[in-house]
Structure 1
Amino acid sequence: MDSKRGDMIRFGYDGWRARFDDGFDSENLARVADALGVMWADSAPDSTIYVGYDTRHGSADGARLVAGILAAYGLIVKMSDAPCPTPAVAWACAQDDAAYGAVILTASERSCEYGGVLVRGFDGGPVSRDFLDEVEQAISLKPSSERGAFEECDLVGPYLEHLASLVDRGVIAARRPRIVVDAMYGSGTACLAQLLGELGCEVIEIHVEKREDFGGIHPDPRDPWADACEQAVVAHEADMGLLLDGDADRAAVVDELGNLLPARVLVPMVLGNLVMGHGAHGRVVTTLTCSACIEREAERLGCETTSVPVGFSRIYREMLDTDVIMGVEEYGGVCVPSHLKERDGLLVCLLAVEMLAKSGKSLSTMTGELESTIGCMSYARRDIRLDPAASQAFRNVLPGLNPAKLAGKAPIEVSHADGLRVQFDDDSWALVRPSRTSAVVRVYAEAATARDRDDLLSAACELVREGF
């Protein structure tokens, strides 16, 4: 998401993020809250707005500032009484018929130098791009000085109770798995560990201290930031490790050998539990950058798949149709719309634990069985940083690119739905996509072997460099 320079504040897909030393301060936060207050009070006067916040620097004070400004517009504001996961705020909003939206003070997986504001709609899902554009236009140079009264309440307790009702307590308690939980100093700290303990798990929690600098790590559940969890799983001879990102809307899983499961493995496993363990049936929505393994497993389970351009708002729009059972982003952000039209890392963790308990097997064994069934693919991404002029030049020529071959292979399909995506008959593919918020071109590739994947990556990167 975009940062602020001068007096300009620009929203990304679902809110605003910026560095604390480059615009994210109380004055600019008040300007954003003031604009939201204007928009919501005009659209739905006297409605309820939920406010939550994460564990990073100034989030609690920022949430109180936002809550007071929104309340001054006659809105009924309910603010979390403690740091809380983004999905907890979204779930509270979705359960309240009087609610019209939510604001969460978080920069999610970004480092401690960043602050952020997420905006959610009445159902806990993302608001429209049109709404964010209107909010941008409503941002004034000087916000109102009026402040109103708001209520502080427990948003976490009811949410955790609901999550516990979605899985089989008996089978988890019978297995009593030993689990390392790493909320990465974020807003899932204590929440997931408490929930798993109540379900009968033996829990070892790491990174639990209050550290506004996140102990030097990024609260992003992938390597190298997942190293401590991987090591703890082996050291404690645990059955699995569970990681949450900074605001707990995304999760990752570590097997008993200390291996971080890639999304191409974790998502099909969770999907299998939903379909075979919970009787779910319907469509799976993925972004065009997701692994082919997800589509393979969906097909094996009898589920249709729909691929959409990158951005959770695109997945959300598909979920407005009631036949969707799962939405997936490239790095494992998973949404189960029967629970909430928002990604929820804690739910993914619970489904993974339930899956392990039901199987009676180790995670590494389950991974091997899955790959023997649907095959194994090798996935990677590279970023090419360009100057703004070169980035725009490449955007201009991209719609006309139609390679007859890439890395010596003839594609069976070329699509410009989200940049340039080249598909081959063996399920391998490459995608070139300029970032919408910075002068970066993202290049993705997947193939049956790492060598073939790297050949596709190199050829796609060369295509970018030749394109401007």
Structure 2
Amino acid sequence: MIEFGTGGWRAKIGEEFTKENVQLLAQALANLILEQEVAAKGFVIGHDRRFLSDKAAKWVAEVLSANQIKVYFIQKISPTPLIMHTVKEYGSFYGAAITASHNPADYNGVKLFTKGGRDATEEITNEIEKKISRLNLVEVKFIDFEKAKEKNLVKIIDPFNNYIDTIISMLDTKAIKASNMKILLDPMFGVSKTSLQTILITARCEVDTINDRHDTLFGGRLPSPNNHTLNQLKNMVIESDYDLGIGTDGDADRLGIIDEKGNFIHPNEILALLYYYLLEYKGWTGGVVRNVATTHLLDKIAAYYGEECYEVPVGFKHISSTMEAKNALIGGESSGGLTIRGHIKGKDGIFAASILIEMLSVTNKKLSELLTEIQAKFGKFAAAESDLEFTVKEKAVLIQKLFVDKKFPEFKYGIKDISYQDGVKVYFENDGWIIVRFSGTEPLLRIFSEMKTRAKAKELILKMKNFLEL
């Protein structure tokens, strides 16, 4: 069964992620492209460093090219945002990255993109799922990859320079060059090193890297840049006096930041910092788009500058489509993904890190100083979160309790509103909130809360966990 979640199709290698399933997905995609008569602009595909990513990219290319769809194949390992940018630049109606992003090492997957370099909508992925369900392996067409190259059905491309030049053109490189910043990068055995190093060295930063070798097990860690996985980065930033530590996830569309004091800066705070910087220091205008599990500090900042904050379900496709509809300035999520108006319609950890360094250079302030500045203006917001595993039986009970019976604990705070837009979210009268939702990328129940203090947020999460009896 091939089912798309909020971040594409992801599955365990050898169980659902198999050559046969990848080929079925590719044939269903080819059928859709041919039905829509959009094959003329070709199909862009790239891959990260995960086990089987390079082979799976060729499996997709072999099927598409056998269906007479021209394939632009990025042979070098590539960040997902680079692939999305290439879809945009080539004017292709579809493209894909072979990656499971921040999932464990025994996962792989396929992220689909549409015209403009954006995540595929649910309408498109639902249609592909329907087509897959009607397909049989004998209906899958394929041609050997090397033969497809000989027939010019597959063209090897290297869009690295175009992607890098695009980001550099959007930066105040003069300010960055004058700042002489010292940066430590942790790609988490992923694909961000070459891109980020090139951008930052071009801007005359001193850049060192750790954990940059090819390791399909990601050093035994989850390739997700969070407070628990970036301890080495924290220690080295302090020990060697770096201005900033940057961690990126497996496919480099999300980032985690360590400030000059060795503190992990939550993605909520990064998003708020960048939005504040663009409004206050650069004088730009525009609203902000966040998902239901992302900080309401953005609402406060937007209101202060006479702008709007738009809340959408989890899944970056919802952020990018709302950004376009509302001409919003920035959009992002609490997991570390964001983009800015004028760039690709998807999250880009490399671009976000570059803008963050520009912010420090232009303001001539440390990250901790800017965070204090924001808190003085808009107050403190503290987040907490927890992930819970469940059995099939437990999931059915959870669905009944939360979404059918619509039950939740008795909270000691006044309730302002309840939303079932994505999971169940309770808004409190004191500006705090808690949300419970099923992950769209992993078999987990996620609980997020935001209050004035982390202790209060954690207290709410514990109350919800006890109520759910997991």
Superposition TM-score, scaled by structure 1 size: 0.92
**Alignment of structure 1 residues 71-90 onto 2, 5 Å:** 71-90=65-84
* % identity of equivalent residues: 26
How many angstroms does 1:203 deviate by?
0.6
How many angstroms does 1:131 deviate by?
1.8
- Structure 1 residues 87-142: Cα deviation after superposition (integer angstroms, max 9, x where no partner): 11111111223x11111111111122111111100111111222212222323331
**Alignment of structure 1 residues 297-446 onto 2, 5 Å:** 297-399=301-403, 400-401=405-406, 406-435=410-439, 440-446=444-450
How many angstroms does 1:422 deviate by?
1.6
Contact 2:438 2:444 in 1 (8 A): yes
Paired with 1:279 and 1:94, the residues of 2 have a C-alpha distance of: 28
1:159–1:435 CA distance, 2 compared to 1 (3 A): closer
Paired with 2:6 and 2:272, the residues of 1 have a C-alpha distance of: 26
Partner of residue 103, structure 1: 96
SS of the aligned residue for 2:119 comes to coil
1:117–1:51 CA distance, 2 compared to 1 (3 A): same
Paired with 1:354 and 1:31, the residues of 2 have a C-alpha distance of: 44
Partner of residue 5, structure 1: none
Contact 2:288 2:323 in 1 (8 A): no
Give 5+ residue unaligned stretches, structure 1.
Answer: 1-7
Contact 2:189 2:212 in 1 (8 A): yes
| Matched pairs, number | 457
- Structure 1 residues 364-408: Cα deviation after superposition (integer angstroms, max 9, x where no partner): 2222222222222221112333332332233234344366x8432
Contact 1:46 1:74 in 2 (8 A): no
SS of the aligned residue for 1:372 comes to helix
Contact 2:39 2:70 in 1 (8 A): no
Paired with 1:407 and 1:452, the residues of 2 have a C-alpha distance of: 12
Partner of residue 245, structure 2: 241
Paired with 2:402 and 2:35, the residues of 1 have a C-alpha distance of: 41
Partner of residue 277, structure 2: 273
How many angstroms does 1:438 deviate by?
6.6
Q: Which one of 142, 146, 163 corresponds to residue 145 of structure 1? A: 142
Partner of residue 283, structure 1: 287
Paired with 1:119 and 1:312, the residues of 2 have a C-alpha distance of: 12
SS of the aligned residue for 1:17 comes to strand
Paired with 2:447 and 2:104, the residues of 1 have a C-alpha distance of: 23
SS of the aligned residue for 1:412 comes to strand
- Structure 1 residues 18-63: Cα deviation after superposition (integer angstroms, max 9, x where no partner): 1213232323222222221221122113331100100112212221
Contact 2:7 2:441 in 1 (8 A): no
Contact 1:402 1:414 in 2 (8 A): no
Give 5+ residue unaligned stretches, structure 2.
Answer: none
1:378–1:117 CA distance, 2 compared to 1 (3 A): same
Contact 2:118 2:320 in 1 (8 A): yes
Q: What letter corresponds to residue 145 of structure 1 in structure 2?
A: F
1:433–1:258 CA distance, 2 compared to 1 (3 A): same
Partner of residue 15, structure 2: 22
1:301–1:243 CA distance, 2 compared to 1 (3 A): farther
SS of the aligned residue for 2:115 comes to coil
Q: What letter corresponds to residue 406 of structure 2 in structure 1?
A: L
Contact 2:11 2:107 in 1 (8 A): yes
SS of the aligned residue for 1:423 comes to strand
Partner of residue 3, structure 1: none
Q: Which one of 156, 159, 162 corresponds to residue 158 of structure 1? A: 162
1:203–1:51 CA distance, 2 compared to 1 (3 A): same
SS of the aligned residue for 2:288 comes to strand
Contact 2:385 2:458 in 1 (8 A): no
| 1:47 is the counterpart of 2:41 | yes
Aligned residues: CA RMSD? 2.0
Partner of residue 110, structure 2: 117
Contact 1:182 1:242 in 2 (8 A): yes
- Structure 1 residues 431-456: Cα deviation after superposition (integer angstroms, max 9, x where no partner): 22244577643222111123322222
Paired with 1:174 and 1:39, the residues of 2 have a C-alpha distance of: 51
Superposition TM-score, scaled by structure 2 size: 0.92
Paired with 1:242 and 1:441, the residues of 2 have a C-alpha distance of: 28
Contact 1:287 1:309 in 2 (8 A): yes
Partner of residue 135, structure 1: 128
Paired with 1:275 and 1:406, the residues of 2 have a C-alpha distance of: 39
